[in-house]
């Protein structure tokens, strides 16, 4: 059973999400919060697998709340669910460890699939801002935000693992990577998990930034 928390300052949104998520037999909403501080306090008690997090909330906004929760509870997956696709929100949410960024116009099936995807270790980005996210990966890699990897670790990657890594760096989903490499989604997930372990990286976002930062994406573009 996937335990979900909802953080949103609008009661109608909170209760609507609770209803549509609880319909799923593999999901249960364990708590709702109306501001960032309440969310942080509730995480300790409820121990959710996934948090659906709004950006603009009183007391503590969703981006800073994401940072604090990921620092204290790195195992918790956070999906930003908001009406805002502002560059700064997307940039900081991903930098601080969000596993997904969806706009509130998303359909119910897409939302439930996003929850299942992030629980399994994947990432879920709204198609409308996917290109923006790829650009942000490049900006992060070229700026002050760097992802350190132990020297020699990259040499441990197999050929398939390197291909998966460069496609993650281009912003492709597990499904798109599977289709491009003629692999099953399960195989892609397993390769991704192995890569993260070998490189000692936290999540898919860090891997994407590292792939751009090291030039892997550009170097291997012509080798497809």
pLDDT digits (tens, 9 = 90+) for 58-83: 999 999 999 999 999 989 999 998 88
Average pLDDT, integer, range 82-95: 75
Residue among 23, 113, 21, 24 at smallest CA distance from 32: 21
Condensed to tens digits (0 to 9), the pLDDT of residues 176-201 reads 889 999 999 899 999 999 999 999 98
The predicted pLDDT at position 217 comes to: 63
pLDDT over 90 percentage in the chain? 49
The predicted pLDDT at position 151 comes to: 80
The number of CA neighbours under 13 Å toward the Cβ of 79 is 30
The predicted pLDDT at position 9 comes to: 94
Average pLDDT, integer, range 83-105: 79
Average pLDDT, integer, range 23-40: 96
**Burial of residue 144 (number of CB atoms within 10 Å: 0-12, 13-18, 19+):** exposed
Task: Give 48's DSSP letter.
Answer: -
Lowest mean pLDDT among 10-19, 40-49, 132-141, 184-193: 132-141
Report the interhelical angle of 62-72 vs 36-46 (nearest 10°): 30
Are both 2-138 and 153-223 of the same fold? Answer: no
CATH of 153-223, one of 1.10.10.10, 1.10.1740.10, 3.90.400.10, 1.10.357.10: 1.10.10.10
Residue among 25, 96, 86, 98 at smallest CA distance from 56: 86
The predicted pLDDT at position 223 comes to: 45
Considering the chain, what is the average pLDDT of its residues?
85
**Higher local confidence (pLDDT), 215 or 201:** 201
**Higher local confidence (pLDDT), 28 or 147:** 28
The predicted pLDDT at position 37 comes to: 94
Average pLDDT, integer, range 94-116: 87
Domain ranges of the chain: 2-138, 153-223
> Which residues are bridge partners to 221 per DSSP?
none
DSSP string computed for 86-109: -HHHHHHHHHTT-SEEEETT--HH
Confidence at 137, pLDDT banded by 50, 70, 90: low
The predicted pLDDT at position 89 comes to: 76
Q: Whole-structure pTM over 0.95, yes or no?
A: no
CB atoms within 10 A of CB 116: 15
- Top-level class of domain 2-138: alpha beta
The predicted pLDDT at position 213 comes to: 72
The predicted pLDDT at position 161 comes to: 94
The predicted pLDDT at position 122 comes to: 73
**CA distances in angstroms from 50 to 23, 47, 58, 60, 70, listed in the order given:** 16, 9, 21, 19, 11
The predicted pLDDT at position 222 comes to: 40
**CA distances in angstroms from 56 to 29, 60, 65, 83, 121, listed in the order given:** 21, 8, 11, 9, 26
Condensed to tens digits (0 to 9), the pLDDT of residues 138-163 reads 565 555 556 678 888 888 999 999 99
């Amino acid at each position: 059973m996937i335990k979900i928390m909802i953080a949103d300052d609008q009661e109608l949104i909170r209760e609507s999400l609770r209803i549509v998520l609880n319909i799923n037999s593999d999901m249960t909403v364990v708590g709702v919060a109306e501001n960032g501080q309440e969310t942080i306090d509730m995480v300790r008690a409820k121990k959710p697998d996934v948090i659906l997090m709004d950006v603009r909330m009183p007391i503590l906004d969703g981006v800073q709340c994401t940072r604090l929760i990921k620092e204290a509870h790195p195992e918790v997956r956070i999906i930003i669910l908001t009406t805002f696709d502002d560059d700064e929100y997307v940039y900081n949410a991903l930098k601080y460890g969000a596993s997904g960024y969806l706009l509130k116009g998303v359909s119910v099936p897409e939302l439930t699939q996003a929850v299942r995807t992030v629980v399994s270790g994947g990432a879920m980005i709204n198609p409308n801002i996917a290109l923006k996210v790829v650009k942000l990966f490049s900006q992060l890699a070229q700026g002050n935000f760097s992802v350190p990897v132990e020297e020699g670790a990259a040499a441990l990657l197999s050929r398939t693992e390197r291909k998966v890594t460069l496609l993650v760096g281009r912003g492709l989903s597990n499904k798109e990577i599977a289709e491009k490499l003629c692999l099953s989604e399960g195989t892609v997930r397993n390769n991704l998990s192995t890569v993260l372990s070998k490189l000692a990286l936290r999540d898919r976002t860090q891997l994407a930034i590292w792939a751009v930062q090291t030039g892997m994406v550009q170097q291997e573009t012509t080798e497809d």
